[in-house]
A and B are shown apart, each in its own frame.
Chain A
Amino acid sequence: AQSVTQLGSHVSVSEGALVLLRCNYSSSVPPYLFWYVQYPNQGLQLLLKYTTGATLVKGINGFEAEFKKSETSFHLTKPSAHMSDAAEYFCAVSDLKAAGNKLTFGGGTRVLVKP
């Protein structure tokens, strides 16, 4: 079974500082990887995804993530945090062995942005 681990359930950053959210996964086959963001009282919005090809993936709102197979990691970064980045972020892996596109999520990281 696949699993996703997000290091740190809460992260606090200053406005303008680097945002780094860590995600490690376990998978017996090359995975498809996703980062979603959830704002308060809302559903999930896709930030970016990795399927194949370039390992550095750029997403919306200035976020990017790098797939590192050797480290089984897919960390999310943003060079300069904005107040609007305060939200919960979820890393997810698509289970290619199971029927369909079931997503397995990490536990989530809540980001607080300090002015």
Chain B
Amino acid sequence: EAGVTQSPTHLIKTRGQQATLRCSPISGHTSVYWYQQALGLGLQFLLWYDEGEERNRGNFPPRFSGRQFPNYSSELNVNALELEDSALYLCASIPGRSSYNEQFFGPGTRLTVL
């Protein structure tokens, strides 16, 4: 069974540009989570999508947005990039909304903002 996949592996952008990160969950999983792992800030919850809808978001500005497609894959968009957006962005999926379901993580996309 294929795991969570993310693309691209690395992404280099300059300040002010937009970045698009993609995530494909495990087959049969309907919920997708996005986390940011920035140096010195640890892992922080960004967004949660379930059944195509944004269900919850963390303490991030509106320029962090995304969507979930009918096949449950997801995109994370970061507009007006700032230097501090440089981080590893991790996507995770679970089969449903139950809180005891473990989250399965992808390998991440490393975003570098110059």
Q: CB within 8 Å of B: which residues of A?
A: 32, 34, 36, 41-46, 49, 51, 90, 92, 94, 96, 98-108
Contact = CB atoms under 8 A, between A and B. Distances in A.
24 contacts: A36-B105, A41-B107, A42-B107, A43-B4, A43-B90, A44-B90, A49-B100, A49-B102, A94-B100, A99-B55, A99-B56, A100-B50, A100-B55, A100-B97, A101-B31, A101-B33, A101-B94, A101-B103, A102-B33, A102-B58, A104-B45, A106-B42, A107-B42, A108-B42
B48 A100 contact: yes
A101 B43 contact: no
Given A43-B90, A98-B56, A103 B103 contact: yes
Interface of B: 4, 31, 33, 35, 42-45, 48, 50, 55-56, 58, 90, 92, 94, 97-108
A102 B42 contact: no
Given A43-B4, A43-B90, A94 B42 contact: no
A43 B108 CA distance: 6
B105 A102 contact: no
Chief secondary structure at chain B's binding surface: strand
The 6 A-B pairs at the shortest CB distance, nearest first, are namely: A43-B105, A105-B43, A44-B105, A51-B100, A43-B107, A99-B56
Contacts of A100: 31, 33, 48, 50, 55-56, 97, 99
A52 B100 CA distance: 9
Contacts of A36: 105
B45 A102 contact: yes
B49 to A, nearest CB: 9
A97 B82 CA distance: 32
B79 to A, nearest CB: 23
Contacts of A46: 102-104
A90 B98 CA distance: 21
